[in-house]
Protein backbone atom coordinates (compact mmCIF):
# COMPACT_ATOMS: atom_id res chain seq x y z
CA UNK A 1 0.00 0.00 0.00
CA UNK A 2 1.63 3.19 -1.23
CA UNK A 3 -0.28 6.45 -0.82
CA UNK A 4 -0.69 8.32 -4.11
CA UNK A 5 -0.68 12.13 -3.99
CA UNK A 6 -3.68 13.52 -5.88
CA UNK A 7 -2.68 17.19 -5.87
CA UNK A 8 -0.64 18.13 -8.93
CA UNK A 9 1.25 21.10 -7.50
CA UNK A 10 1.69 21.27 -3.75
CA UNK A 11 1.76 24.63 -2.01
CA UNK A 12 5.36 24.92 -0.90
CA UNK A 13 5.94 25.82 2.77
CA UNK A 14 8.59 28.38 1.75
CA UNK A 15 7.58 30.82 -0.98
CA UNK A 16 9.81 32.07 -3.78
CA UNK A 17 9.52 35.58 -2.33
CA UNK A 18 10.73 34.31 1.07
CA UNK A 19 13.63 32.58 -0.65
CA UNK A 20 14.55 35.74 -2.59
CA UNK A 21 14.62 37.68 0.69
CA UNK A 22 16.59 34.95 2.45
CA UNK A 23 19.21 34.95 -0.32
CA UNK A 24 19.23 38.78 -0.42
CA UNK A 25 18.75 38.74 -4.18
CA UNK A 26 18.66 42.06 -5.97
CA UNK A 27 15.13 43.02 -6.86
CA UNK A 28 16.37 44.63 -10.12
CA UNK A 29 15.16 41.68 -12.23
CA UNK A 30 12.41 40.01 -10.23
CA UNK A 31 11.35 36.74 -11.71
CA UNK A 32 14.47 35.90 -13.74
CA UNK A 33 15.58 33.26 -11.23
CA UNK A 34 12.15 32.48 -9.77
CA UNK A 35 11.70 29.15 -11.62
CA UNK A 36 15.13 28.03 -10.36
CA UNK A 37 14.27 29.08 -6.80
CA UNK A 38 10.91 27.28 -6.97
CA UNK A 39 12.66 24.08 -8.04
CA UNK A 40 15.30 24.39 -5.33
CA UNK A 41 12.64 24.93 -2.65
CA UNK A 42 10.67 21.90 -3.89
CA UNK A 43 13.76 19.68 -3.86
CA UNK A 44 14.83 20.96 -0.43
CA UNK A 45 11.32 20.22 0.90
CA UNK A 46 11.54 16.70 -0.49
CA UNK A 47 14.88 16.13 1.25
CA UNK A 48 13.53 17.36 4.59
CA UNK A 49 10.37 15.26 4.14
CA UNK A 50 12.45 12.15 3.52
CA UNK A 51 14.70 12.83 6.51
CA UNK A 52 11.84 13.53 8.93
CA UNK A 53 9.21 11.17 7.48
CA UNK A 54 6.69 14.02 7.63
CA UNK A 55 4.56 15.64 4.91
CA UNK A 56 5.52 19.33 4.82
CA UNK A 57 3.10 20.49 2.11
CA UNK A 58 -0.62 19.82 2.61
CA UNK A 59 -2.21 17.43 0.16
CA UNK A 60 -4.80 14.79 -0.57
CA UNK A 61 -3.68 11.14 -0.83
CA UNK A 62 -5.39 8.01 -2.16
CA UNK A 63 -4.85 4.58 -0.63
CA UNK A 64 -6.11 1.35 -2.19
CA UNK A 65 -6.52 -1.84 -0.16
CA UNK A 66 -7.45 -5.36 -1.20
CA UNK A 67 -8.10 -6.53 2.38
CA UNK A 68 -8.94 -4.98 5.73
CA UNK A 69 -5.96 -4.72 8.09
CA UNK A 70 -5.59 -7.44 10.70
CA UNK A 71 -6.38 -6.12 14.15
CA UNK A 72 -8.26 -3.07 12.86
CA UNK A 73 -5.19 -0.79 12.67
CA UNK A 74 -3.91 0.58 9.35
CA UNK A 75 -0.64 2.49 9.88
CA UNK A 76 0.02 5.16 7.26
CA UNK A 77 3.30 6.82 6.25
CA UNK A 78 1.60 10.22 6.20
CA UNK A 79 2.33 12.47 9.16
CA UNK A 80 0.51 14.57 10.19
CA UNK A 81 -2.73 12.89 9.17
CA UNK A 82 -5.47 15.52 9.09
CA UNK A 83 -8.77 14.01 7.93
CA UNK A 84 -10.48 11.19 6.06
CA UNK A 85 -12.12 12.66 2.95
CA UNK A 86 -13.54 9.50 1.37
CA UNK A 87 -13.89 5.81 2.19
CA UNK A 88 -15.55 3.54 -0.33
CA UNK A 89 -15.72 0.02 -1.73
CA UNK A 90 -14.77 -0.43 -5.38
CA UNK A 91 -15.85 -3.51 -7.33
CA UNK A 92 -14.18 -5.10 -10.36
CA UNK A 93 -16.26 -2.96 -12.73
CA UNK A 94 -15.17 0.25 -11.02
CA UNK A 95 -18.49 0.95 -9.28
CA UNK A 96 -17.97 2.91 -6.07
CA UNK A 97 -20.08 2.40 -2.93
CA UNK A 98 -19.45 4.87 -0.11
CA UNK A 99 -18.85 3.40 3.34
CA UNK A 100 -20.99 4.61 6.22
CA UNK A 101 -19.50 7.41 8.29
CA UNK A 102 -17.66 6.23 11.39
CA UNK A 103 -16.41 2.89 10.03
CA UNK A 104 -12.94 4.40 9.61
CA UNK A 105 -11.50 6.90 12.08
CA UNK A 106 -8.19 8.67 12.54
CA UNK A 107 -5.94 6.98 15.08
CA UNK A 108 -5.36 8.49 18.52
CA UNK A 109 -2.07 10.17 17.52
CA UNK A 110 -2.27 11.39 13.90
CA UNK A 111 1.12 13.13 14.12
CA UNK A 112 3.54 10.65 15.71
CA UNK A 113 1.68 7.41 14.90
CA UNK A 114 -0.58 8.22 11.93
CA UNK A 115 -3.06 5.56 11.00
CA UNK A 116 -6.69 4.60 10.64
CA UNK A 117 -8.83 2.61 13.04
CA UNK A 118 -11.17 0.19 11.26
CA UNK A 119 -14.30 -0.73 13.24
CA UNK A 120 -15.85 -4.19 13.40
CA UNK A 121 -18.82 -3.01 11.33
CA UNK A 122 -16.96 -2.82 8.00
CA UNK A 123 -18.43 -5.00 5.27
CA UNK A 124 -16.61 -8.15 4.23
CA UNK A 125 -14.54 -7.82 1.07
CA UNK A 126 -15.40 -10.42 -1.54
CA UNK A 127 -14.32 -9.19 -4.94
CA UNK A 128 -14.04 -5.59 -3.88
CA UNK A 129 -11.27 -3.26 -2.92
CA UNK A 130 -11.21 -0.31 -0.57
CA UNK A 131 -10.52 3.24 -1.72
CA UNK A 132 -9.56 5.71 0.99
CA UNK A 133 -8.70 9.37 0.48
CA UNK A 134 -7.08 11.34 3.30
CA UNK A 135 -5.74 14.83 3.87
CA UNK A 136 -2.23 14.99 5.30
CA UNK A 137 0.53 17.48 5.81
CA UNK A 138 1.59 20.59 7.65
CA UNK A 139 -0.19 23.80 6.67
CA UNK A 140 -3.66 24.07 5.19
CA UNK A 141 -6.05 22.31 7.59
CA UNK A 142 -3.16 20.58 9.35
CA UNK A 143 -0.85 21.87 12.03
CA UNK A 144 1.47 24.72 11.06
CA UNK A 145 4.93 23.87 9.78
CA UNK A 146 7.48 24.02 12.62
CA UNK A 147 9.86 26.95 12.09
CA UNK A 148 13.03 24.79 12.34
CA UNK A 149 11.82 22.70 9.39
CA UNK A 150 11.09 25.82 7.32
CA UNK A 151 14.60 27.07 8.15
CA UNK A 152 16.07 23.70 7.11
CA UNK A 153 14.31 24.04 3.73
CA UNK A 154 15.69 27.57 3.30
CA UNK A 155 19.24 26.49 4.18
CA UNK A 156 19.20 23.51 1.79
CA UNK A 157 17.77 25.62 -1.04
CA UNK A 158 20.34 28.35 -0.37
CA UNK A 159 23.19 25.83 -0.42
CA UNK A 160 21.94 24.41 -3.73
CA UNK A 161 21.62 27.95 -5.14
CA UNK A 162 25.14 28.87 -4.05
CA UNK A 163 26.74 25.68 -5.37
CA UNK A 164 24.73 25.17 -8.56
CA UNK A 165 26.95 23.85 -11.30
CA UNK A 166 29.55 22.52 -8.86
CA UNK A 167 30.50 18.89 -8.67
CA UNK A 168 28.15 16.97 -6.37
CA UNK A 169 29.47 16.64 -2.84
CA UNK A 170 28.81 14.09 -0.13
CA UNK A 171 25.23 12.98 0.34
CA UNK A 172 25.06 13.83 4.08
CA UNK A 173 22.95 16.75 5.23
CA UNK A 174 24.86 19.86 6.31
CA UNK A 175 25.36 19.85 10.10
CA UNK A 176 23.10 22.89 10.68
CA UNK A 177 20.25 21.29 8.71
CA UNK A 178 20.71 17.95 10.48
CA UNK A 179 20.55 19.73 13.85
CA UNK A 180 17.38 21.61 12.88
CA UNK A 181 15.49 18.51 11.76
CA UNK A 182 16.77 16.05 14.40
CA UNK A 183 14.00 16.74 16.97
CA UNK A 184 11.32 16.37 14.28
CA UNK A 185 12.38 12.96 12.90
CA UNK A 186 9.78 10.22 13.15
CA UNK A 187 11.49 6.94 13.97
CA UNK A 188 10.32 3.43 13.14
CA UNK A 189 11.52 -0.08 13.62
> pLDDT digits over 172-189, tens only?
789 999 999 999 998 766
Q: pTM of the prediction? A: 0.86
Taking residues 48-61, what's their average pLDDT? Answer: 94
19 has pLDDT over 80: yes
- For CA atoms 77, 79, 81, 86, the dihedral sign is negative
Q: What angle do CA 104, 143, 107 make, to 5 degrees?
A: 25
Taking residues 155-168, what's their average pLDDT? Answer: 85
CATH number of 4-55+142-184: 1.10.3230
Cis-peptide, bond into residue 141, ω within 30° of zero = no
What number of residues does the chain have? 189
92 has pLDDT over 80: yes
Q: What is residue 170's predicted lDDT score, i.e. its pLDDT?
A: 65
Compute the distance between CA of residue 51 and CA of residue 35 in angstroms, rounded to an integer. 25
Compute the distance between CA of residue 102 and CA of residue 119 in angstroms, rounded to an integer. 8
Higher pLDDT, 100 or 29: 100
Q: What is residue 94's predicted lDDT score, i.e. its pLDDT?
A: 83
Q: Give the least confident one: 27-36, 98-107, 126-135.
A: 27-36
Among 179, 157, 143, 180, which residue's Cα sits nearest to residue 42? 157
Distances (CA, A) of 185 to 86, 146, 166: 29, 12, 29
3-class state of residue 49 by DSSP: helix
Amino acid sequence: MTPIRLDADPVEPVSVQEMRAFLRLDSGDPGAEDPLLAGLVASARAVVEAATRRVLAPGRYRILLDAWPVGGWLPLPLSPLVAIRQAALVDADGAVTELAAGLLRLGPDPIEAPGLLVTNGVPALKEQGVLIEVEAGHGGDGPPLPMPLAQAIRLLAAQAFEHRGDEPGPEALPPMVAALIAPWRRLRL
